[in-house]
Amino acid sequence: MYDNTIKTVPLFVKNKDLSLLLLYWMVDMEATEGVVANKFIKSHDMLVNKAFIKDKPIHKIHYEKQTFILMNHFMVESVLRRQPVGVYFQEVKTV
């Protein structure tokens, strides 16, 4: 919906008695290189270089042994309106 270059795969999760069926989307996207502008230990200390973000609303970032999904605030607001469970958002600084 936000970026037509991202490939998605639907995943259906249901309980044993079939009274609950949830739809999740597995996102398959290329990692964006050069986004992280500093060395950090915790995600709230991450500094993002805006020059590498361009106009895309979502990015996958590999840093050390972790993978992060970087989203713009419009996309985060859209996700929060759907009241997800188990999703944690952390604001990062840009340079």
pTM confidence score: 0.65
Domains of the chain by residue range: 30-94
Selection from 29, 76, 74, 32 nearest residue 54 by Cα? 32
Q: How far apart are CA 94 and CA 62, in angstroms?
A: 17
User: Cβ-count burial of 36 within 10 angstroms (0-12 exposed, 13-18 middle, 19+ buried)?
Assistant: buried
**pLDDT tens over the chain, length 95 residues:** 566 777 777 888 887 777 788 787 777 778 888 888 888 877 788 888 888 887 788 888 888 888 888 888 888 888 788 777 677 888 888 88
